[in-house]
Amino acid sequence: MFRSNLSPARVGEVVTFGKRMQFPHSFCPAMKLNLYTKVVLLGMVVGSAFCQPAAAQSTPAASKSDIEYDAVYDDPYDVNKMWLHFFPLSAEGFATNFNVGFGGQANYYLKNKFDFRLSARKTYTKSTDFSRINGERRAVNDNRMEGFRYLEGGATYHIKDASTAGEAKIVVYTKRYSDNKWASTVPEFIRIPAKVRKITGVRLGGYYWGSAANLGSVLEKQQVQLVSAANDTLSPLGLYGNIQSGGIYLGGSLATFRNVVIKPKKYDVAVNDILFTGYADILYAPYVQLQTVRVDGVDYATDKIKLRNLGFRAGIEGMFNRDFSWSYGGEIGYRPSLQGRGFYASFKVGFAFASKMQQQRQSYQTNPPAE
């Protein structure tokens, strides 16, 4: 076995090729310091190599398609107080009577506590009032067929009215677009942070409607017959009549208001000021009346025909916080009517005039009179 005859190196000595070399003692601390410094620097370099990609991922690079904008206005409480709607198109698929017509509506908001709603509609002519026109053409009884009409009024109490942080969808547009480009492409839009006003309310109101109805099909389905005072029965074939109903509704609603204006760079001023309401109601009609059927001067009672006094509905309404804009609405439900003939679905589209109803203005005197 090979053995070295040199003793272990002491501090300040280095053994090379069997020879012992001495260095000043102050040299060793300097070597240790430089070694530690290199380790620290190496760690910093490696750490920065790992951190830089993560930082790059957390902040995505701007794209040429990104849109910059300046916020102009964002206040969902600065809205109009009254809207007057006109609906030139109002259609209803009602099992009692399918009809198409027009209508009107008024909405009024009172001090962020209440809002009131009044609406009415009717058919255009006999040709868009299907039960009426069919009754006049095919009925064997002598009753005059009445046209469809509907009237409703009510109020909503705001249980909770609060504004929260949310977002708004903004459609961007510029006048530089050609008509063909704007018409042939899907509109571009952005989503931006915006305040959202949410109103939770409870609704209460009343309604009335009247219409012609096909009684023959109802009698066959319910398997009943009309009987006169002389106990004579009447065939259901070709029988039409008139029905009217009045009742109340009770339910709840959730409304969301946005009122934000921005100016995107390279685009025109853009707005999201929609006032959207969803609601659901229980309908109760203590008054549902079916007119007596008359044939050749003989009256036949209709009290054997089963009616339904309870119903429900769910609907939406949309309008905008502008002096003049369009509006829309839709409903689906079961209306108190003839049993088995209460289902309906309706929609309406029109335009609205709106106002804050603030006619008072500030005044001041520029030239006071001399004393």
| Per-residue confidence (pLDDT) for residue 44, from 0 to 100 | 60
| Two tokens, residue 255 | 């409304």
Binned at pLDDT 50, 70 and 90, residue 181 comes out as low
| Per-residue confidence (pLDDT) for residue 25, from 0 to 100 | 46
Q: pLDDT (tens digit, 9 = 90+) per residue, 268-295?
A: 888 899 999 999 999 999 999 999 999 9
- 297: region left, alpha or beta (phi > 0 left; psi from -120 to 50 alpha): left
Q: Which residue has the tokens 């255009």?
A: 124
- Strand segments, DSSP code E, in the chain are 13-16, 19-22, 69-74, 82-94, 99-110, 114-123, 149-171, 189-214, 226-228, 233-234, 240-257, 260-264, 270-272, 274-290, 293-295, 298-301, 310-320, 324-334, 343-355
Q: pLDDT (tens digit, 9 = 90+) per residue, 249-270?
A: 999 999 999 999 988 887 888 8
- pLDDT at residue 17 greater than cutoff 50: no
Cβ proximity of 323 and 354 under 8 Å: yes
Q: pLDDT (tens digit, 9 = 90+) per residue, 80-111?
A: 999 999 999 999 999 999 999 999 999 999 98
d(CA 198, CA 253): 10
**Domain map (residue ranges) of the chain:** 13-46, 69-355
Give the residue, 60 or 222, on which the prediction is more confident: 222
Question: Partners of 302 in the beta sheet?
Answer: none
Give the residue, 120 or 28, on which the prediction is more confident: 120
| Per-residue confidence (pLDDT) for residue 340, from 0 to 100 | 93
Average pLDDT estimate for 227-235: 89
pLDDT > 70 fraction of the chain, expressed in percent and rounded: 75
Q: Which residue has the tokens 């609907």?
A: 315
Residue 83 CB-half CA count within 13 A:
29
- pLDDT at residue 216 greater than cutoff 50: yes
